[in-house]
């Protein structure tokens, strides 16, 4: 899960927040137009890659998937509720201790949008852990075998949960 946009009270509504919402609005408009050429330009925002050839591989994969993406994908990405998420998430009750939660963030993911949001969710989860996927921004599933293995390990940690508190480390 790429959990994003649960902002601090200080940031939410600030001029910097408004500026970021303007940028995100432009991104969402790109998806609203189903602009594949425009959308492929965002790949570098979500992908860590050590070489240009790998970036080209993922851009080609993304383009091919966008060409066959269904209406629900385009509608979802056009209407991300960034403005509404922070107030809604602040109303969530604590998760019971019986619900294990690992928030896995790319070690290179944006701190403000991803990592701090994940920390806030962990604060309301009584049995949670924050783990970092090494050498990853957000798209761990296409960044490489090491990133996929790190996430698989974390899933194994959740599956092995047996009523006890756990501490997940990727």
Q: What is the pLDDT of residues 55-97, one digit of tens each?
A: 999 999 999 999 999 998 888 877 666 777 888 888 989 988 8
Cβ neighbours of residue 138 closer than 8 Å, sequence gap 6 or more = 2, 46, 47, 106, 109, 114
User: What are 16's two structure tokens?
Assistant: 């910097």
User: What are 122's two structure tokens?
Assistant: 């962990």
Cβ neighbours of residue 57 closer than 8 Å, sequence gap 6 or more = none
- In the block, tokens 């992908």 appear at 47
Buried b (16+ CB within 10 A) or exposed e, 44-54: eebbbbeeeee
Asked if residue 156 has pLDDT above 90, the reply is no
Cβ neighbours of residue 117 closer than 8 Å, sequence gap 6 or more = 3, 4, 5, 6, 7
pLDDT attached to residue 5: 77
pTM of this structure: 0.78
| Tens-place pLDDT, residues 29-56 | 998 899 999 999 999 888 898 888 889 9
User: Mean pLDDT for the chain?
Assistant: 86
The three-state secondary structure class of 118 is helix
Please report which confidence band the pLDDT of residue 21 belongs to, taking 50, 70 and 90 as the band edges: confident
- In the block, tokens 């962990």 appear at 122
pLDDT attached to residue 1: 43
pLDDT attached to residue 18: 92
Please report which confidence band the pLDDT of residue 153 belongs to, taking 50, 70 and 90 as the band edges: very high
The CA distance from 117 to 96, in Å, is 19
pLDDT attached to residue 79: 67
- In the block, tokens 């090491």 appear at 146
DSSP conformational letter for 164: S
């Amino acid at each position: 899960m790429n959990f994003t946009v649960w902002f601090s009270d200080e940031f939410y509504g600030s001029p910097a927040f408004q500026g970021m919402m303007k940028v995100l609005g432009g991104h969402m408009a790109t998806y609203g137009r189903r602009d594949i050429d425009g959308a492929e330009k965002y790949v570098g925002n979500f992908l860590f890659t050590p070489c240009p050839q790998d970036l080209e591989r993922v851009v080609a994969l993304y383009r091919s998937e966008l060409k066959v993406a269904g209406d629900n994908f385009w509608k979802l990405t056009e209407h991300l509720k960034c403005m509404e998420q922070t107030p809604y998430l602040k109303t969530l009750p604590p998760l019971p201790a019986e619900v294990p939660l690992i928030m896995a963030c790319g070690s290179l993911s944006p701190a403000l949008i991803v990592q701090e949001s994940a920390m806030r969710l962990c604060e309301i989860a009584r049995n949670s852990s924050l783990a970092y996927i090494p050498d990853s921004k957000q798209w761990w599933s296409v960044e490489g075998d090491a990133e996929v293995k790190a996430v698989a390990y974390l899933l194994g940690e959740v599956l092995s949960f047996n009523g006890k508190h756990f501490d997940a480390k990727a």
